[in-house]
């Protein structure tokens, strides 16, 4: 999604299957104007959860995929030359504040450090956004909500949320769903029947339980949906799992071979 274009809520919220009280917590945080931090591994449903809740609450959603070069100006806005004239263009965070929308910063620890300085006044009782270049001070209206996410498994000394930032947010920890829930999600999203979805979910559990293998993370629910979608479309099982499970998880030939052996043990 283009960061400058909001996802507009419609009558049907994107499919999301709750695993605990996360929906109620999100609704309470939104009602009170409190920021929310989502923590969990890649592909476990954090972004889908935010999209679901934005639609459920009837709020526009601005999603920003954070990266090493993302600066405060990218979020707030900048002057641009258009038609020979210089004009101010709001960034996604500014637009969300003006509209009372939800702004979702995906993988916020990837952004540059000056981003957190901008976020702090929005995450306490002030709920303000300073735009130094224009001299504006925007007060977030009811409906505005700041949501951020990150993957704790990828934190290191150089990229870590400071306690002064973490303690400004409510937090929810996400993990992979239990097998029954994951099977229902994969079947619903891919169209693959339950009989063929079950071994996929069993394989995922085995991969996630592995120790001593050179894998940064286990297979995500997202990848299971990809694999199931390929299988449902008629792709041979071995080719689908190679493309959607083995190749995304590793570049090491010996680890790939071990994963293929594990697949053979499940489907043998």
- 131-151: buried (b, 16+ CB within 10 Å) or exposed (e) per residue? beeeeeebebeebbbbbbbbb
CA distances to 23, 37, 192 from 52, rounded to whole Å, are 9, 16, 22
Domain range annotation of the chain: 22-173, 179-267
Does residue 250 carry a pLDDT above 90? yes
In sequence order, the β-bridge partners of residue 148 are 37, 105
Residue 48 CB neighbours (<10 A)? 18
- Per-residue pLDDT at 2: 37
Confidence of residue 15 (pLDDT cuts 50, 70, 90): very high
Per-residue model confidence as pLDDT tens digits over 194-245: 999 999 999 999 999 886 567 878 899 999 999 999 999 999 999 999 999 9
Q: What is the CATH number of domain 22-173?
A: 3.40.50.300
Mean pLDDT score of the chain: 91
Per-residue model confidence as pLDDT tens digits over 135-182: 999 999 999 999 999 988 765 545 678 888 899 999 999 999 999 999
Token readout for 253 is 């030939």
CA 108 to chain centre: 10
Average pLDDT over residues 177-189: 95
The model's pTM: 0.88
Per-residue model confidence as pLDDT tens digits over 66-123: 999 999 999 999 999 888 889 999 999 999 999 999 999 999 999 988 898 899 999 9
C-alpha to C-alpha distance for 181 and 124, rounded to whole angstroms:
36
- Per-residue pLDDT at 213: 66
What does 41-65 look like in DSSP terms, one character per residue? -TTSSHHHHHHHHHHHHT--EEEEE
β-bridge pairing 102-106 and 145-150: parallel
């Amino acid at each position: 999604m283009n960061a400058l274009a909001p996802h507009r809520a419609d009558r049907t919220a994107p499919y999301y299957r709750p695993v605990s009280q996360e929906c109620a917590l999100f609704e309470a945080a939104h009602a009170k104007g409190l920021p929310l931090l989502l923590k969990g591994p890649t592909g476990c449903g954090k972004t889908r959860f935010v999209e679901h809740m934005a639609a459920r609450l009837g709020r526009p959603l601005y999603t920003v995929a954070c990266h090493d070069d993302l600066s405060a100006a990218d979020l707030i806005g900048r002057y641009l030359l258009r038609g020979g004239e210089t004009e101010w263009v709001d960034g996604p965070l500014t637009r969300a504040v003006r509209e009372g929308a939800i702004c979702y910063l995906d993988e916020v620890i990837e952004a540059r450090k000056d981003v957190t300085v901008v976020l702090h006044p929005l995450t306490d009782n002030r709920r303000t956004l300073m735009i130094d270049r224009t001299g504006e001070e925007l007060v977030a209206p009811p409906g505005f909500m700041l949501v951020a996410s990150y993957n704790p498994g990828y934190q290191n000394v150089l990229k870590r949320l400071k306690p002064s930032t973490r303690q400004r947010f409510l937090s929810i920890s996400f993990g992979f769903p239990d097998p029954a829930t994951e099977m229902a999600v994969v079947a619903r999203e891919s169209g693959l029947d339950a009989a063929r979805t079950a071994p996929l979910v069993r394989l995922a559990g085995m991969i996630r339980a592995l120790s001593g293998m050179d894998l940064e993370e286990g297979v995500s629910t997202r990848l299971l949906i990809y694999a199931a979608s390929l299988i449902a479309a008629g792709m041979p099982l071995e080719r689908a799992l190679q493309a959607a499970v083995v190749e995304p998880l590793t570049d090491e030939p010996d680890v790939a071979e071990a994963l293929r052996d594990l697949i053979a043990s499940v489907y043998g």
